[in-house]
Structure 1
Amino acid sequence: MSRLSTTRAIRPPGVLSGIGVLLLGLVASLLLQPGGGAVAQEPPAPARSGQAEQARQAGTGARSEPSGTYTNPVTEGTVDTFPDPVTIRGKDGLWYAYGTQNPVFRSKGEQGERIVPILRSADLVDWEYAGELFTPETQPAWHGGSRLWAPDIRYLNGRYTLYYSVPDRNTVGVATAPTPTGPWTDRGAVMKPQSGCPTGNIDQAQFTDRDGRSYLYWGSYDVLCVAGMNADSTRIEGRVTEVAQGRRAEGPYVVRRGPYYYLFYSDAGCCQGAYSGYQVKVGRSTSPTGPFEDDEGVDLMARTSKGGAVVAGSGNRWIGPGHNSVQTDLAGQDWLVYHGIPSDDPDLDPTPEINRKQLSRRPMLIDRLDWIDGWPVVRAGAGASDGRQAAPVTAWDAGGTFNDGSLSGWRRQGPERDGWSTAESRDTGTYVTHEGRGTDPAYLVTRRRTAAAAQRAEADLRVTADTGAAGLTVAYADPDNNVSAWLDRDRNALVTDVLRNGRNDERITPLPSAFRWDSWHNVAVELRGGELTAEVTSDRLYDAVATQHRELPAGAARPGKAGTAARGPGSAADNVGTVKLHTPVTGPVPEPGPGAGLPAYSDAFEGTVVPGTEPDSPWSWVRGPAPGTAMTGGALSWPAGDTGLWLDTNTAPVLTRDAPKGDFTVETRLHFAPERAGQKAGLVLYGNDDRYFSLTRSALPLERRGGALTLNTEFAKEGERPTTTPPTPVFYGETFGGPTADTMWLRLSYHADRADREDEVRASTSRDGEHWVEAGVWSLPVKGPLKMGLVTLDGPGATARFDYVRTYRD
């Protein structure tokens, strides 16, 4: 999310009109309607071939990758930055992305910002600019000129509904449109500033449950909340429930998978360039209102840092990955859509209009999202990708969008075969309808056969008559032998029907009572072996209103064709097709671990003399020894003092010793029960007071809880930040590891990245000494040797007990 104070979006003369022409004519002028809603003129139809090429030649189209691959960031060459991205597949068969208001065309000479910029893609890889939510002239007056952050897009009740944060009004706005690019009608504020959630009313995401009820999740710094919404999902109503809290927690996004609701969120700092500790974490619940727990079984409302890491900094090009949404490709593979900060170019140049704070460069990334043992993780735990990857599947093996206006490539089948025709709308383009009056099914199937053993098929369906059904058909041999998933209006249900030799075997799953039959709904069917899964959503965003699983009878999953089906009048279908079903990744990448022990660089603290106080000790003190430090019971006892090791406050004693040459891991077991904000104790890899890495158990205040404490495992670095304007010589950045306990095991693993001349440090934490939680990777340019050390600081009243220091070769 963005942290910049209010700034109007300003464009130099001539820039808007020139870009508007070259960018497909989609940034139409907007008009204010009576009643306060801002409405844009209807944009032209989505760009095709020549227009898209014209946009690329004008510098607004993305670079192309070799077929079937992509390289992050996917927005490179299209926009300079695209924070807080969210995506949707439009009913025209294209994907659309929406981002926080930012100066997205700085490299093209534009000084101002685009107010919620919109991108469009045919494949989730190559993107082109498609417009913005508002212009400076048409932004609703009730915003007070606020910048707009963190959009969320949904297809609800037959229209696109876009939620956006209005930070200067401490609320969330909502706008609706008939197409993914507008024209947008502003519907006002979703909540009052006094919403009932003790947080900033930003970073919202909508979710629809099985019963059709709508929810809104939101929150930032440091509490996340949820509330129900009214029938048209434009206002929250009823009880506001807190579902998570943590140091700088924000950006909630919910999906339902199987029996669980998964709450994704980001914590630590989003927007500090190379010092951004942002990461995505997740908890799950059996209820949309919680309680949510992480993969360690810790309640997300507990005042501790959490596990459940989905993606964190991994030491490659990408820093501070976060603020995610989830998208599914045609093969059923999930993708995390998020932003990251490039380490080689982390900051945007300041402009006269945007001068209150340095903006971080945050382009859009996508990466494969795997579900391992019931938990989502990016690339099986490998983290954000910075090399060429296999691309999402975005083209059918068989099927199509009907946008050529014909039924060529399709076969009409069944007694009512003559009822098929094409129609058009500004949202979908061309689609097919069936107006047969009989009760027998009619089929429109691909000419090409597909293997049924492992496939995923989809169709956008609706029924506009008072009776009848629209269906998706797979494993089609003939009208008497096929498998279909029906939206059956007569029974208000999702019905799967297996036809064998004319005999049917049905299963019925009710749809919500308020199901909108005249609205498009996506029906997806997956066949894997002899199992069928069918689900109904509005927008393919993991919020199915009906899901059905069933075993298929022997022989039913035969090779066949795919297509759409109709029974009775008023059936319509679009975006019909099938592809080979993805093969899920079910195991994690190997977790890094220490190698052989290095006794010469280890210490069991079994002596009676405080380390660093004898002439031959391998330890030495910076500003020490610390007052009150003693050897007691085979451990180093060290009371916290009123000292600091943060920016200009460099008063804390630090106990250090030389580190081994090469890569290594240093570990300690720490008992520490802090009682006041700022108290910390743990490991440090120390160059000097302004250049170090630390991993501590810390007591930190929650900003929205009046300073109430949360106990975190805090992984931090301090060092030079030369790219800021004006220059900031030293900066402190932090990220957070797993849950804490009074007794913790802490590890810092050092790697010399010789290719990039960086010191790279990975942190991990444990509450039992056996199961470790990764806490990400920090790096700094090589400036000299680092020493291993211990530190206790920031406030008296607690005593740290270090049982040992053990060092291992990596």
Structure 2
Amino acid sequence: MPPRRLLAAVMTVAAIAAGTTAATAAPVVTTTNPITSSFADTFADPSIIQGRDGYWYAYATSDPLVANGPFGLMHMARTKDFSSWEYLGTVFNDQTKPSWAAPGSFFWAPDIRYFDGHYVMYFTVTDTNANPGGDPAIGVATAPTPAGPWTATSGPVVAPRPDGNGGYLGTIDPAMLTAADGKRYLYYGGFYGGISVTELSPDGMHAVGTPTQVTIGDRYEGSYVVYRDGWYYFMGSSMNCCAGPTTGYSVFAGRSRSPKGPFVDADGAALTDSRVGGTTVITQNGNRWIGPGHHAFITDAAGQDHIVYHAIDRNQPWLTNPFGINRRPMLIDNIDWIDGWPRTNAGAGPSQNPVAAPTTGSALGIDSTDPAAGLRGATRQPGDSLGGPTATINGAAQTRQSAPDGSLRVEADVKLGNSFTTVLGNQVVTTVANDRLTITVGGRTSSVNLPADFDRTQWNKLSVQVSGSTVTARLNDAGLGDVYGEAQLAVPGLELRSAPVRWLGSAEVDNLTVRSVAKPVNKMVAVPRTGKLLTGDSFDGALGSDWSWVRKDDKATVADGKLSWPLENADMTGSSNNAGLLFHTVPTGDSWIAETKLHLDTGQGDVRNYQQAGMIAYLNDDDFARLGNVAIWKTRQTEYGRELVARPSDGATSYGAAAIGRSAPTLWMRLAYHKNAAGEHVYRAGTSVDGKNWTWGASWVLPSAAKIGIYAHGEFTGANPPPVATFDYLNFYESR
């Protein structure tokens, strides 16, 4: 229907309007991390989906839920409001688990989806019958409801991948995406072999074609990909998921115009580079939560994105004895899109206090699971056992109440007829017709083609959102970042007026929500900034009384305004403790920033374990935090590691690390010190490749104030003579 005639028809429908008072705002529901504490102590590698019954269903890897509990065959739970949860049992039992899995196999990292009229779950099988002993593969199962029963296919969707050396690559951690080209893609892989993406058959049950590697090995696992504003955002977890109290797991992102990449970060660094890229999505901030990662995304009824992930309470890191199973409950926090990049709580990281829960259900007096009662002109249908009653629209329908002025989001599961139109504020018109998704506002139009095989007779998800002066309409599988089509239109000066939401055409509608849009956050939280110089040394002469050594290395020399230090074939982790450390006196006060400039050329692309140099916050040989520019296999990374005694009975230590920013031959480093509200000593790391623009990352908490110094070592291979680390200065500044 032409836009002018369509608007005229809409205005005719307005004549039947009644009950035009905007709905009263519902009370705010809060939630506190970890959100799975009511039924589980650990709920790792979570994924989540909203079922047509209005519940949100969450799934987790096979670890025991509680200490000394049995390993499950992946877990299921559900919630209506993210405040209270119901545990639903395991995905499989011994009779229904995949027949091709070896008897001792574990089942990890479920990825939940909905398409073609059923729920689809991808998961890791750690060992198959084909090559018993550790040949991971990706399995897939389907179910008529999000609670099952789940039926696994007779073979893997991605088979084990031999590494050519008698072993197998890390075929783990699946994540599916339906892309705008109408094809389905599966991302999988991890630290051994990197992450690849393969096209799937239309039914999603088989890998087809040749995979494309999208990350370098040794850096990322736990991938998840979402589409937004014309970009595909790849997100992956880095470093060690499970090092107990020293876990530094974090999530980083890159983006591409293609679902196959190449994915590059906000600084233009590719995730396939040896000096690997990645823009921080979430990392630990110095509160109780460490190692946040292996995540999934959801969008709530108000258009707010959220990240669900696991993390470790540094005060309760183990589910079983030290060095046993890690305690990894599920957490949730807001994702804010700032300058085109996803940031958790605007860069603040994991929350530990009560926060607003995701917005669920509908305003305007609509029961989202029985939507016809809240509409005029719609017919109630009994629906099915999964979704319950639905609303059929044939001709014209509208909400009984008016939506308020301002930004608005309308979302529903829909089975579409030949043409279906949504109208907001009598101003914004979105139509699905003739295999196109079109937005019309006044004389402005934005339109995209839908895939040739788009099936409008299946349940799909349709959302229309006006946020400020931008209108976005999207059709997708299940609201999990996938996309069949997204149209977007910027209308300067657009101010949505109060009016009923209206529909024209034909569709069956379920899970209908109408909500004011969550206020977007578009500014990052404050980061540490340097003030005046307090103390330090620019190496203009011999080392003075402000310097002290632990295990002095006579090969370190000062000349020409630099300290040059050939890397020692030594280390600080475990029982080695044979590396030299050079410390400078720190300033007094409860906050300051230490900074150095380091030049260390570790090459690119070859194996050089583990050449490194940088800064250290040191209590003793078994209790420190170390920020280094380091070679790890073929990657060059900035690693912020932590070692402490994890088992006091025998002095056994734990070491883990977070990654921060990008490696470069010349790298600036900072450690920002402050005391938190509990009086603990927090050291946050930052790096820069130009000395001007800083990437601030993870924080480690030490039990007392530490010595600050520099180091150059590495238990390394691949270079003889060893590379030389050159430091231009070590300075201490006020923290502003």
Determine the structure 2 residue equivalent to 1:231: 202
Q: Structure 1 pair 787/555, CA: closer, same or farther in 2 (3 Å)?
A: closer
What CA distance in whole angstroms lies between the structure 2 residues aligned with 1:565 and 1:196?
A: 56
1:368 is paired with a residue whose SS is strand
How big is the shift at 1:513? 1.3
Runs ≥4 residues deviating over 4 A:
195-198, 401-404, 495-498, 504-508, 551-557
How big is the shift at 1:285? 0.9
Question: What are the ranges of 5 or more consecutive residues in structure 2 without an aligned counterpart?
Answer: 1-25, 129-135
What CA distance in whole angstroms lies between the structure 2 residues aligned with 1:539 and 1:195?
A: 34
CA contact (8 A) 1:248 1:269 kept: no
Q: 2:598 aligns with which of 670, 680, 691?
A: 670
1:369 is paired with a residue whose SS is strand
Determine the structure 2 residue equivalent to 1:326: 297
Q: Structure 1 pair 208/673, CA: closer, same or farther in 2 (3 Å)?
A: same
Q: 1:621 aligns with which of 546, 549, 553?
A: 549
1:363-398 per-position Cα deviation (integer Å, ceiling 9, x unaligned)? 111111001111110111111111121222112112
Q: 2:399 aligns with which of 446, 459, 468?
A: 446
1:298-320 per-position Cα deviation (integer Å, ceiling 9, x unaligned)? 11101124340011011001000
What CA distance in whole angstroms lies between the structure 2 residues aligned with 1:308 and 1:555?
A: 33
Q: Structure 1 pair 651/317, CA: closer, same or farther in 2 (3 Å)?
A: same
What CA distance in whole angstroms lies between the structure 2 residues aligned with 1:246 and 1:807?
A: 36
> Which letter maps to 2:488?
H
Determine the structure 2 residue equivalent to 1:89: 50
Determine the structure 2 residue equivalent to 1:777: 699
Instruction: Give the alignment of 1:324-723 within 5 angstroms.
Output: 324-350=295-321, 358-398=324-364, 400-401=366-367, 403=369, 407-412=372-377, 420-434=379-393, 441-443=395-397, 445-463=398-416, 468-475=418-425, 484-488=429-433, 491-496=434-439, 509-528=448-467, 531-550=470-489, 557-562=496-501, 564-567=503-506, 571-599=507-535, 602-607=536-541, 609=542, 611=543, 617-624=545-552, 626-662=553-589, 663-674=591-602, 676-701=608-633, 709-722=634-647
Q: 1:127 aligns with which of 71, 76, 85?
A: 85
> Which letter maps to 1:619?
W
Q: Structure 1 pair 66/72, CA: closer, same or farther in 2 (3 Å)?
A: farther
What CA distance in whole angstroms lies between the structure 2 residues aligned with 1:289 and 1:327?
A: 22
Determine the structure 2 residue equivalent to 1:16: none
- Give the percent of matched residue pairs that are identical in Structure 1 and Structure 2: 37
1:547 is paired with a residue whose SS is strand
What CA distance in whole angstroms lies between the structure 2 residues aligned with 1:728 and 1:253?
A: 38
What CA distance in whole angstroms lies between the structure 2 residues aligned with 1:754 and 1:483?
A: 48
1:84-129 per-position Cα deviation (integer Å, ceiling 9, x unaligned)? 11111111122111111121144xxx72122211111112332211
The Cα RMSD (Å) is 2.6
**Deviating more after overlay: 642-651 vs 282-291:** 642-651
Determine the structure 2 residue equivalent to 1:789: 709
How big is the shift at 1:529? 5.0
1:253 is paired with a residue whose SS is strand
**1:311 and 2:233 are equivalent in the alignment:** no
Choose between structure 1 and 2 for higher RCO, CA contacts under 8 A separated by at least 6 residues: 2
Q: Structure 1 pair 603/529, CA: closer, same or farther in 2 (3 Å)?
A: closer
What CA distance in whole angstroms lies between the structure 2 residues aligned with 1:270 and 1:739?
A: 20
CA contact (8 A) 1:159 1:178 kept: yes
2:251 is paired with a residue whose SS is strand
How big is the shift at 1:713? 1.3
What CA distance in whole angstroms lies between the structure 1 residues aligned with 2:703 and 2:210?
A: 50
How big is the shift at 1:452? 4.8
How big is the shift at 1:294? 1.0
> Which letter maps to 1:79?
A
What CA distance in whole angstroms lies between the structure 1 residues aligned with 2:87 and 2:568?
A: 55
2:211 is paired with a residue whose SS is strand
> Which letter maps to 2:210?
R
**Deviating more after overlay: 94-103 vs 638-647:** 638-647
Q: TM-score, normalised by structure 1?
A: 0.80
What CA distance in whole angstroms lies between the structure 2 residues aligned with 1:454 and 1:716?
A: 44
Q: Structure 1 pair 790/557, CA: closer, same or farther in 2 (3 Å)?
A: closer
**1:79 and 2:40 are equivalent in the alignment:** yes
How big is the shift at 1:687? 1.9
How big is the shift at 1:266? 0.6
Q: Structure 1 pair 470/428, CA: closer, same or farther in 2 (3 Å)?
A: farther
What CA distance in whole angstroms lies between the structure 2 residues aligned with 1:366 and 1:727?
A: 36
What CA distance in whole angstroms lies between the structure 1 residues aligned with 2:251 and 2:85?
A: 24
How big is the shift at 1:242? 0.8
CA contact (8 A) 1:85 1:99 kept: yes
**1:201 and 2:171 are equivalent in the alignment:** yes
Q: Structure 1 pair 469/697, CA: closer, same or farther in 2 (3 Å)?
A: same
What CA distance in whole angstroms lies between the structure 2 residues aligned with 1:131 and 1:564?
A: 40
Q: How many residue pairs are counted as aligned between the two chains?
A: 687
How big is the shift at 1:778? 1.0
CA contact (8 A) 1:458 1:472 kept: no
1:388-432 per-position Cα deviation (integer Å, ceiling 9, x unaligned)? 21222112112534656x9444322xxxx7xx2412212211112
Q: Structure 1 pair 409/693, CA: closer, same or farther in 2 (3 Å)?
A: closer
> Which letter maps to 1:181?
A
Determine the structure 1 residue equivalent to 2:653: 730
Determine the structure 2 residue equivalent to 1:171: 137
Q: Structure 1 pair 532/687, CA: closer, same or farther in 2 (3 Å)?
A: closer
Question: What are the ranges of 5 or more consecutive residues in structure 1 without an aligned counterpart?
Answer: 1-64, 477-481, 702-708
How big is the shift at 1:156? 1.1
How big is the shift at 1:496? 4.7
Q: 1:103 aligns with which of 64, 70, 76?
A: 64
Determine the structure 2 residue equivalent to 1:13: none
**1:191 and 2:158 are equivalent in the alignment:** yes
What CA distance in whole angstroms lies between the structure 2 residues aligned with 1:553 and 1:627?
A: 67
